[in-house]
Structure 1
C-alpha cells in the first residue's frame, strides 16, 4: 500500500504544535494539521509490509500491539496517497465508529507497531486518520444516515462514554430503537469531562452527537439510573439493557491528613474546568471551578490523567507543579527486552510535562516517591505534604516485587492543592447492585470470557465497566462486540460486523 519506495523517499512529517509558552495561554487544541497534499505524501510512506502489525490489535507480552479496532490502516493510507479521500473515509468507518475522537486522544498503538518504526519513523497514521474524518465532515460524507427500517426492539444504554456510544451507534444502524441514559448534564462520559479541551474540544463531541440524534438515537441526560430511575422500570420498558458506566470509582490515597481541604480526585478537578469553560465561552470564571491559580500543586499519578492535571494547572496559573510517580523512570529508548512490535516501554514526555519544562526549566515528575502524610493548617486547609522515597523489594510472604518505603527518606514540600490521579478501581456499586449483576474481584461486571451477557437475563455490559480502566479504542471495540452479541440475542442472527 502507498508508494513502494515512499518510506525511503519521504521523511515523516506530523502536524505542527504551538509552542508550549503560547499554548498555555488558552484551552484549545494546539496542533496545526498538514495540508491535504502534504498528508497524501505521508500516506505514501505506508510500505506494503506484507504483515501489517498496525492493524493487528494482538496482545504481546501483556500489551496491545497495533489497533484493537483492526482499522484497515494500509488501505486508507493508500487511498489518501492516491487522493481518494471519500473512499478512505468509508474504509475507516468500517471498523471505527468515532475516528473524530480516536484521531485526537488515542496514544497511537498503530504507529508503535508500524513496520517503519523498526528502523526509522512510523507512518503518521493518527494524523492521516484525523485528515480523513475532518475532510469527511467538510465534504458532507459524515452526514447522518438513518436506518431505512426499524425492528421495533428497544435498547437502553446506561452511560454515554465511548463504549456506550459505540453500542448505540451499531444497534441503531441495525434498526433497533436506542435510548442512551447519562447522569451528567451532557453526553460523552470521560470524553467530555475526563479529557481536557486541549486534547479534545467539546464541540467535536457535540458534532457527532448531533449526527447520532439525527439518525434516531435518543439521549436522556441528568438521569442517574439506580438513583433517579429504578432498574425495574428499564427492564420493563426495554427489551435489552446495556451497562456502560465506566470504571468510575477513583483510587484514593489513605494516609494521615486525608481530610484536609484542598485534596481532590483528578476527574473532579478536570470536570470543573471543562464545565466552567463550556458555560463561559472558553473563559475561566473565578469561583466556578477548582482553581490551581497561585498554588503549589502536587499531582499524584504519572499517567495520562496526571499529565492532564499538570497541563490544566499550568493554564490556571499554578505557582508550581510536582508530579509523583511510584515506579522508577522508564528508559528513554527501547531496551533489548522490549523489542518491536511490542508496545515501547519508554519514558514519554507529554504536553503537560513539556509545558512545565518550558515554564520552570525542569521536568515536574519525581519518580519512586509517594505521599506519607498531608499536613493541615489551623483552619483544616492543606499546607504541606510529607513525601517518602520508594525502592523495589521482594515481599517475604508472596515472593512478589513491590515498592517499599526507604527508611529515613521523608521530606516535606509546600502544597495547597493535591490532585489524585491514581487510576480507577472499577464500577460504582450502586449501579451493579441496582441491577443485581455479579462483579469480579476488581469490581468489574462479570461475564463469561469473550462475552458481554451478565448473569441477569437481558442485561449486557461493555467498556471499562467490563474490562477495567483502559483506552478509548478498547472501549469502542467492546461496544461493537457487545452490540453484535445483543443483536444476535434479540434477532437470532446478526449482520453487524466487528472488524
Structure 2
C-alpha cells in the first residue's frame, strides 16, 4: 500500500493551520486545505505492513486503538497516492457514513496504531480522510441515493447525533421509512451544538442533513419524546424504536460555593454560543459572554479545550484550564506501548491560540479546586486550589494526595465545568420502561436490544461517553439488528 519505500523517503506533514491570533477574530475552521500533491506524498508513506493495525478498532487499557468502524485505510491511502480519488472515495464510504465529521473531529486512534508510528511519525490518516470526502462533495460525486423500493416498515430514532444519523442512513438505504426525532431546533446532536464551529463548521453538518433528507429520511425537530410526544405513541406508530439520546448528564462539581453566579456547565456554554452564532451572528445576545472576564475551565479534556477556544474568541481577559492529572510525557512510556493510544503531550488548537494570545499554555496540571468564593452579591469572585501528587498504593491503584503549601487563589468571574458526562437522561427511559445500569441503557453490544420488545439502543446512551467513531460503529450495527428484527 502506498509507495514501498515511501515511509522512509517522506516526512509526515500535517495540514497547516491558520495563524492562531488571526483566527481568533472569526469562528471559521482553523485548518487549511492541503494540495493534492502533498496528500499523494502522505499517502505514499502508508506501508505494506501485512497486518494493518490502523483499523483494528479495539480497546487497550481502556482507550480506543485503531479505527472502530474498521476503515479500509491502507486501500484508500494507496489510491490517493496514485491519484485515483473517486475510487478512494468509494472505499472510504464502504465503512464510514460521515467521513466529513470523523476527518475533522475524531482524535484519530488509527494514527496511534499506525505501523509507521512504531519508530516514526504516523501516516496523516485523518487529513487524507477529510480530503477524500471533501473532494467528493466538491466534484459532485456525492449525490442522493434514493432507495429503489420500500419495505413498508417504519422506524423511529430518538436523537440525531452520529449514532442516530448512522442508524438512520443504514436503515433508509435498506428500504425502511425512518423518522428521526430531535428536541433541539436543528438536527445533528453534539455535532451541531456540542462541537464549536472552528472545529466543525455547521454548514458541513447541514450539508449532510440535507442529503439524508433528500434520500428520504424525515427529521422532526423541536420535539422532545416524553413531553411533546409520548413513548407509547411512537411504539404504536412505528415498527421499531432506537434510542440514540447520548450521554448528556453532565458531571457536576460538588464543592463549597457551587451556587455562586457565573458557574455554568461547559456544554451549556458551547451550545448557547453556537446557537447564537447560527441564529444571529451573536446579535441576539442569547449566549454567555465572557468578554473582559477571567475564565476558569475545570476539566482537562476536549470539551474543556473547546471552552478555552470559545472564551478566547469572546475576548476574555484571561483563561485557565484545570486538570487533575499530571502533564503527559513527550513520548510513550513503557506501560503505553504501541498499538495502544499514545498518551503523550500535545498542543490542541485551543492551547496554541491561548499561548499565542497570553504567552503560555493555559493548562494547569495536578490541581484540585477546594472552594469557590462569591462576592457580597453572590457573583463569582475567586477559586481556591491546591496542587496534588499522583501516587500508587501497594495494590497498584493510583490515588491523589494534597501537597501542603501549594494553596493558591485564582480570580474568576466565570467557571465552566467540563468534567465529563455521567450517563443518559432517565425520564425518557422510564417512560419506555427500559432498564438501565449505571445511568446507561441496558442493551448488549451485538444485538442492542433493550428489555422492551422492538426498542433498541446504541451510541453513548448505551456505552457511555465515547468517541464519534464508536457512535457511528454502533449506529451501523444497531441498524443491522433492527433490519433483521423487521424482516422476520
Q: 2:448 aligns with which of 439, 449, 452?
A: 452
Which deviates the most, 187-196 or 403-412? Answer: 403-412
Render the CA deviation track for 1:385-415: whole Å, top value 9, x for unaligned.
111222335689x984322444554321110
Equivalent residues in 2 for 1:412-431 (5 A)? 412-431=409-428
Tell me: CA distance 1:394–1:34, structure 2 relative to 1, closer, same or farther (3 Å).
closer
Structure 1 unaligned runs (5+)?
Answer: 493-499
Tell me: CA distance 1:135–1:368, structure 2 relative to 1, closer, same or farther (3 Å).
same
The answer for the alignment partner of 1:440 in structure 2 is: 437
**Residue 100 of structure 2 aligns to a residue in which SS?**
helix
* Alignment of 1:480 onto 2:466: no
Does structure 2 retain, via aligned residues, the 8 Å contact 1:33–1:127? Answer: no
Structure 2 unaligned runs (5+)?
Answer: none
Residue-pair matches, total: 488
Deviation at 1:139, TM superposition (A): 1.5
Q: 2: CA distance between counterparts of 1:199 and 1:289? A: 19
The answer for the alignment partner of 2:7 in structure 1 is: 7
Does structure 2 retain, via aligned residues, the 8 Å contact 1:356–1:362? Answer: yes
Q: 2: CA distance between counterparts of 1:179 and 1:387? A: 49
Equivalent residues in 2 for 1:324-403 (5 A)? 324-392=322-390, 400-403=397-400
Deviation at 1:372, TM superposition (A): 1.5
Q: 2: CA distance between counterparts of 1:233 and 1:305? A: 36
Does structure 2 retain, via aligned residues, the 8 Å contact 1:327–1:403? Answer: no
Q: 1:297 aligns with which of 295, 298, 323?
A: 295
Deviation at 1:44, TM superposition (A): 1.4
Equivalent residues in 2 for 1:13-24 (5 A)? 13-24=13-24
- What is the aligned-residue RMSD (CA, Å)? 1.5
**Residue 373 of structure 2 aligns to a residue in which SS?**
strand
Q: 2: CA distance between counterparts of 1:425 and 1:412? A: 29
Deviation at 1:177, TM superposition (A): 0.2
Q: 1: CA distance between counterparts of 2:294 and 2:93? A: 45
Deviation at 1:446, TM superposition (A): 0.5
Render the CA deviation track for 1:271-311: whole Å, top value 9, x for unaligned.
1110111112xx33373210111010000001000001111
Deviation at 1:330, TM superposition (A): 1.4
Equivalent residues in 2 for 1:1-400 (5 A)? 1-280=1-280, 283-285=281-283, 287-392=285-390, 400=397
Does structure 2 retain, via aligned residues, the 8 Å contact 1:186–1:221? Answer: yes
Q: 1: CA distance between counterparts of 2:458 and 2:472? A: 9
Which deviates the most, 470-479 or 410-419? Answer: 410-419
Does structure 1 retain, via aligned residues, the 8 Å contact 2:188–2:205? Answer: yes
**Residue 31 of structure 1 aligns to a residue in which SS?**
coil
Q: TM-score, normalised by structure 2?
A: 0.97
**Residue 362 of structure 1 aligns to a residue in which SS?**
coil
Does structure 1 retain, via aligned residues, the 8 Å contact 2:276–2:284? Answer: no
Q: 2: CA distance between counterparts of 1:195 and 1:256? A: 30
Render the CA deviation track for 1:327-359: whole Å, top value 9, x for unaligned.
111111111221111110112221111111111
Q: 2:467 aligns with which of 468, 471, 480?
A: 471
Render the CA deviation track for 1:30-67: whole Å, top value 9, x for unaligned.
21111122212221111111110111112223322111
Render the CA deviation track for 1:84-130: whole Å, top value 9, x for unaligned.
11111111001000001000001111111111111112111111111
Deviation at 1:449, TM superposition (A): 4.6
The answer for the alignment partner of 1:496 in structure 2 is: none
The answer for the alignment partner of 2:407 in structure 1 is: 410
Render the CA deviation track for 1:128-158: whole Å, top value 9, x for unaligned.
1111101111122111101101001000000
Tell me: CA distance 1:399–1:436, structure 2 relative to 1, closer, same or farther (3 Å).
farther
Post-superposition, which runs of at least 4 consecutive aligned residues in structure 1 deviate over 6 A? none
